[in-house]
Amino acid sequence: MDRRNTHQKELILKAVSGKGIHLTAEEIFQSVRQEDPRVGLATIYRNLNLFTQQGLIQKIEGPGWSCYDGNPVPHDHFHCVRCGQVVDYPDEYNPDMDNAAGQKTGGKILFHSTTYEGICESCLADENQAASG
């Protein structure tokens, strides 16, 4: 199937791609709508799926949340359970883990993903302020 470049794809890709960009489908929808209010939600999903398949972006998920990461290179994440923000965790992806896992399980490992759940620095500050105030 040959692919065509469209206005919509450009807008969506521009909204979602980039290092450190972590947006939900709904956020991407809102963002794209600001540029062109005629774009439909189905188009957002269709293209996010397409971009994910093509390896231009990746979808990351955890307990009760999910978002699209504009950086397709696998890396770890930190998710704040309070504000919901997702940030890249500053560590190198370790391919040795995949090799080791392949040998241990006897299967073929494609990749792994590590997600830290916790409370981010700024939310911690908010909580301390609320406790003392």
Partner DNA sequence: TTCTTTGCAAAATATTTGCACTGGT
Partner DNA sequence: ACCAGTGCAAATATTTTGCAAAGAA
| Residue 102 near which of its own copies, DNA, none (CB within 5-8 Å, type-dependent) | its own copies
Which residues here bind its own copies, judged by CB under 8 A?
59-63, 78, 80-81, 87, 89-91, 97-98, 101-102, 104-121, 123-124
Tokens standing for 67?
Answer: 């978002």
* 69 in Cβ contact with 113 (< 8 Å): no
* 30 in Cβ contact with 41 (< 8 Å): no
Check binding of 7 to DNA (CB under 7 A).
yes
Check binding of 81 to DNA (CB under 7 A).
no
Q: Determine the 3-state secondary structure of 82 from DSSP.
A: coil
Query: Smallest gap, in angstroms, from Cβ of residue 11 to DNA?
Result: 9
Give the DSSP letter of residue 7: H
DSSP 36-48: -TT--HHHHHHHH
**Pick 17 or 126: Cβ nearer DNA:** 17
Which residues make up the interface to DNA (CB under 7 A)? 1-9, 24-26, 36, 38-43, 45-47, 49, 66
